[in-house]
Amino acid sequence: MKIIPVELGRRSYAIYLKSGLFGELGRLYRRHELGEQVAVITDRTVHKLYGAQALRSLKAAGLRAQLIPVPAGESSKSLAWADRLYERLIRTGVDREATIIALGGGVVGDLAGFVAASYLRGIAFVQLPTTLVGQVDSAIGGKTGLNHRLGKNLIGAYHQPRFVLIDPEFLTSLPPGEWRSGWAEVLKYALIQDAELFAQLEALPPGKVLSADAELLTGIIAHCCRIKASIVSEDEREAGRRELLNFGHTIGHALEAVTGYRRFRHGEAVAWGMLAAAWLSREQGLLAQEPWGRIERLLSSFELPRDLSGCEDEALTAAMRRDKKSRGGQIRLVLLSDIGQAIRGQAAGDAELRRAFGYLRSRAAGS
Ligand SMILES: NC(=O)c1ccc[n+]([C@@H]2O[C@H](COP(=O)([O-])OP(=O)(O)OC[C@H]3O[C@@H](n4cnc5c(N)ncnc54)[C@H](O)[C@@H]3O)[C@@H](O)[C@H]2O)c1
Ligand SMILES: [Zn+2]
């Protein structure tokens, strides 16, 4: 088993990573100083696949456990669903010593994490990510949150999990689009700080990733976890280096918001956002032609959804201004100076952004 520490003083915790580890959930839980009562929040898809097994493992360890499913999909990351969860927790007598386990992708992790951060002023929380996005990114680092109809992740809290259990076997049931979405976050780490990982991904395009051997995949997940853990340890509250993790996200979130969170998976929108940010990096003379060509080639192999209808310049820039990362109305982006080297806080003017959106539209139209 790989154990990757996330160093945060008294709130430090471990990421446990091993194929088949899900079967040991109850036993692993028992190794931590956590209460006897557990509420497993999951989505209906994951519930059908893995709910019974989670409950069995927790009950076998002598714990009082219940499963609470929410609908699958981004729309569950809402105050309305948080409210339903609070009600269920109150009605079933979940107390301050209890633990919430998030069993699912980033949606469940963000929602369950936010509920854990706020219920009874905060109770313990464990992450059990079942998507690639969750395993390399969202389950680590303690950002939890909900969407507001005016924007994504506008409501939230920092609440670190007590441990993170990663079992790559969950990914065997993941549909291809979800793989692509996770692969985009993996590529993000490569672009912002790991040229070697980028070269590895070039040799393993997303079409082939489904058949990637388990050991290689586990290695890549561990590698991404280490990068995220090191960034979070250094800058938990995003006052500096953690901003780099937003590469591709300011534009990606705008695409998600403008299309009502329905057309693109998170990672797919981020992949378009990374392409636009790399394009802007080249336009600003920060990124040379050769690395730009490699980035464009790799992202083009992603088979992203190409329908950008309705993604007009005005709507996108307005959504970007509402993003929590904009300051005083000025849109600032993470840009690249090379593969594996990112620079944060780069200002982007409206005219420049319009040209970048124009570039995306022409790519999407297949030219
Ligand atoms: N908190 C953070 O730091 C952070 C980081 C990145 C992303 N996020 C958030 O995460 C969300 C995206 O997460 P996601 O991509 O995991 O989406 P998701 O949670 O919606 O999961 C994607 C789909 O896969 C299904 N699924 C999950 N596990 C499965 C499995 N093992 N087999 C089959 N199907 C499975 C789900 O039911 C869902 O339909 C976004 O809301 C994003 O904002 C948060
Ligand atoms: Zn992301």
- What is the structure's pLDDT at 300? 87
Token duo for residue 329:
């109305």
Domain identity same for 344 and 331:
yes
Is 236 touching ligand 1 by the criterion CB < 6 Å?
A: no
> Taking residues 303-317, what's their average pLDDT?
91
Task: Kindly state if the Cβ of 69 falls inside 6 Å of ligand 1.
Answer: no
Q: Whose CA is nearest to atom 9 of ligand 1?
A: 106
pLDDT more than 90, % of the chain: 82
Residue 64 confidence (pLDDT) above 60? yes
- Are residues 191 and 164 part of one domain? no
Q: In the chain, what's the furthest Cα-to-Cα distance?
A: 61
Which ligand sits nearest to residue 132's alpha carbon?
A: 1
Residues 266 and 151 in one domain: no
Q: CB count, 10 Å around CB of 9?
A: 7
Confidence band of 48 (pLDDT split at 50, 70, 90): very high
Question: Is the CB of 174 within 6 Å of ligand 1?
Answer: yes
Ligand 1 neighbour 178 (Cβ under 6 A): yes
Q: Are 181 and 281 contained in the same domain? A: yes
Question: Which pLDDT score, from 0 to 100, does residue 144 have?
Answer: 98
Residues 214 and 163 in one domain: no
**CATH code at 280?**
1.20.1090.10
pLDDT value at position 211?
57
Segment 155-191, tens digit of pLDDT: 999 999 999 999 999 999 999 889 989 999 999 999 9
Residue 192 and residue 327 share a domain: yes
Residues forming the active site: 121, 143, 185, 228, 238, 242, 246, 249, 253, 266
Ligand lying nearest the CA atom of residue 42: 1
Whether residue 354 sits in one domain with residue 248:
yes
Nearest to 24 by CA among 53, 46, 66, 65: 53
d(CA 356, CA 280): 6
- The per-residue pLDDT for 98 is 98
Q: Using an 8 Å Cβ cutoff, are 17 and 1 in contact? A: yes
Q: Residue 178 C-alpha to ligand 1 middle, in angstroms?
A: 8
Residue from 104, 87, 42 nearest 68 by CA: 42
Whether residue 305 sits in one domain with residue 278: yes
User: Higher model confidence: residue 151 or residue 169?
Assistant: 169
Distance 12 CA to ligand 2 centre (A): 22
> Among residues 129, 154, 173, which one ends one of the domains?
173
For a pocket test of ligand 1, which of 22, 138, 173 has the largest count of ligand atoms closer than 8 A to its C-beta?
138
The response to whether residue 143 sits with its C-beta less than 6 Å from ligand 1 reads yes
Residue 161: which CATH number?
3.40.50.1970
Predicted confidence band of residue 291 (pLDDT cuts 50, 70, 90): very high
Q: Are residues 349 and 331 in the same domain?
A: yes
Number of domains observed in the structure of the chain: 2
Residue 137 beta carbon below 6 angstroms from any ligand 1 atom: yes
Indicate if the pLDDT at residue 209 is higher than 70: no
Measured from the CA of 50, which atom of ligand 1 is nearest? 31
Check pocket membership of 41 for ligand 1, CB cut-off 6 A. Answer: no
pLDDT at 324 over 80: no
Q: Give the HSE-up count for residue 268: Cα atoms under 13 Å, Cβ half-sphere.
A: 19
What mean pLDDT value characterizes the chain? 94
196/142 same-domain check: no
Q: Ligand 1 test: best mutation among 131, 232, 247, most atoms within 8 Å of CB?
A: 131
Answer for the pair 60, 26: CB distance below 8 angstroms, yes or no: yes
**Domain closes at, from 173, 205, 229:** 173
pLDDT of residue 205: 58
Place of tokens 């797919």: 268
- The answer to whether the beta carbons of residues 8 and 163 sit under 8 Å apart is no
What is the rounded distance in angstroms from the CA atom of residue 161 to the CA atom of residue 125? 5
Same domain, 265 and 167: no
Contact 47/60 with Cβ under 8 angstroms? no
Domain range for 357 is 176-364
- Indicate whether 6 pLDDT > 60: yes
Last residue of a domain, one of 120, 140, 173: 173
Cα 66 to its chain centre, rounded Å, is 25
Tell me: do 50 and 23 sit in the same domain.
yes
